[in-house]
Amino acid sequence: MATVVVTDENFDEVVSKSQLPIVVDFWASWCGPCIAAEPIIEELAGAYAGKVVMGKLNVDENQAKAAEFGVMSIPTVIGFKNGQEVERKIGFGGKANYEDLIKRVSQVK
């Protein structure tokens, strides 16, 4: 399963109405650590398919939601459950860092 593209326009539909927990990667194409994180985010989208939705929001193209959530550094990955933020990781910490966030948000083992 691939990641879901999240935008200012579809954010409420994708995040607030998701039946599953959702993890959104706030990123930009010029950000080296964001590019390093991309294959890991894609891998985790497949590994946790059916348990967690993995989304990506480009902060250059979607500044309103980035500002609303106070994203000042990228990559920032925010976990949502029932439309509410429950966990966030700032910076690229590797696969284990993202898996930890996923497990905290979704309560998956």
How far is it, in rounded angstroms, from Cα 59 to Cα 50?
26
Q: Are 97 and 39 in contact (CB under 8 A)?
A: no
How far is Cα 19 from Cα 80, in angstroms, rounded to an integer? 11
Q: Is 31 a catalytic residue?
A: yes
Integer Cα distance of 82 and 41 in angstroms: 21
Within a 10 A sphere around the Cβ of 21, how many other Cβ atoms?
21
Q: Is 1 a catalytic residue?
A: no
Choose, from 6, 15, 23, 31, the residue flagged as catalytic.
Answer: 31
Contact between residue 83 and residue 17 where contact means Cβ atoms under 8 Å apart: yes
Which residue in 34, 41, 71, 74 is the catalytic one? 34
DSSP 15: I
Residues with catalytic roles: 31, 34
